[in-house]
Amino acid sequence: MRPVDLLRLLLLAAIWGSSFLFMRLVAPAMGPLLTAELRVLLAGLALFAWFRTTGMDIGLRVHWRFFAIVGTVNSGVPFALFAYAALHIPAAYSAVLNATAPLFGVICAAVWLRERVTPARVAGLALGIAGVAVMVGVGPVRPTPQVLLAVGAGLAAPLCYGLAATYIKLHGAGIRPGAVAAGSQIGAALTLLPVLPLWPAPAVHDPALLTPLVLACTVTLALVCGAVAYLLYFRLVEDAGPARALTVTLLIPVFGMGWGALFLGERITPAMAAGAACIVVGLVLLLDLRQLFRGRMPG
């Protein structure tokens, strides 16, 4: 991996790791549904405008059904779930739970794509499950029913990512990744609109919650953690290959825990570190990172 690609990888991990910090600050004022809606709407509009200026047609009219399904499963629902989790558990917890996405991806691929599950992948799955159990069971947050429900939401979100990845493999042939990103964000924004009244934003009843910090974090969550991060990721995939780009998953928990400790005063306990380490080692087994050192992966 070239130095410039490594810098992009670290920057991308730092950006995506910060999204859990921003959700902790935004969700109490906006509520889970409006937090997710604003995140996908602003990101989708920004990406759509960017690709229009570069002359790329994302094919909204042709692929609208695909974008609506992928957007709902890959963005709308998981973003709302993580925003709900942010109300009750530390940002570090959510960042570590997010890292289980490849674990669910392996399970979904085995069930629907009939991909072979090797002994290494079984070990990786076991380590991932153990990591979550260690973090939740002996972590710094008492496992109350409310916390366990939030952890469940934080696990359901990466399950959605695994389902979406499988659906894209089955039905997304010929649709460019950039088009999927922009179209799915717009699709998610449209599908979330009808359910917004189910969880009104607390700021509706208490406008004092809409501080300049909350508004700035909302915009940053959408434009930086959404639009800019997607563009960085696609460039990394193009230049370094998809396998190397996927290693960003290993780094997001590190930055997520770091940002939470730095800006929110969250404690990083040995149990959290041990749980995160189990998940990261499990991901290494799942992704077979030895391939990364055998030359550039085909893009």
Reduced 3-state DSSP string for 186-234? HHHHHHHHHHHHHCCCHHHHCHHHCCHHHHHHHHHHHHHHHHHHHHHHH
DSSP state of 61: T
List pLDDT tens digits, range 36-75. Answer: 999 999 999 999 999 999 998 999 999 999 999 999 999 9
Cβ count within 10 A of residue 107: 18
List pLDDT tens digits, range 259-296. Answer: 999 999 998 888 888 988 998 888 888 776 555 444 44
* CA nearest neighbour of 6 among 178, 193, 232, 210: 232
pLDDT of 297 reads 37
Cβ count within 10 A of residue 56: 14
Tokens representing residue 158 in the block: 């990466």
- What is the Cα–Cα distance from 161 to 117, expressed in whole angstroms? 19
pLDDT of 102 reads 86
pLDDT of 139 reads 75
- State in Å, rounded, how far the first CA of the chain is from the last one: 13
pLDDT of 243 reads 67
Residue type, 9: L
Cβ atoms of residues 252 and 95 within 8 Å: yes
Tokens representing residue 30 in the block: 């906006």
Residue type, 243: A
Cβ atoms of residues 75 and 185 within 8 Å: yes
pLDDT of 1 reads 66
Mean per-residue pLDDT of the chain? 90
Taking 70 as the pLDDT cut, the residues of the chain under it are 1, 243, 288-299
Tokens representing residue 210 in the block: 């809409």
Cβ count within 10 A of residue 77: 22
- What is the Cα–Cα distance from 96 to 189, expressed in whole angstroms? 26
pLDDT of 83 reads 98
pLDDT of 245 reads 80
Domain edges within the chain: 3-293
* CA nearest neighbour of 44 among 164, 175, 218, 187: 187
* CA nearest neighbour of 65 among 159, 158, 190, 178: 190
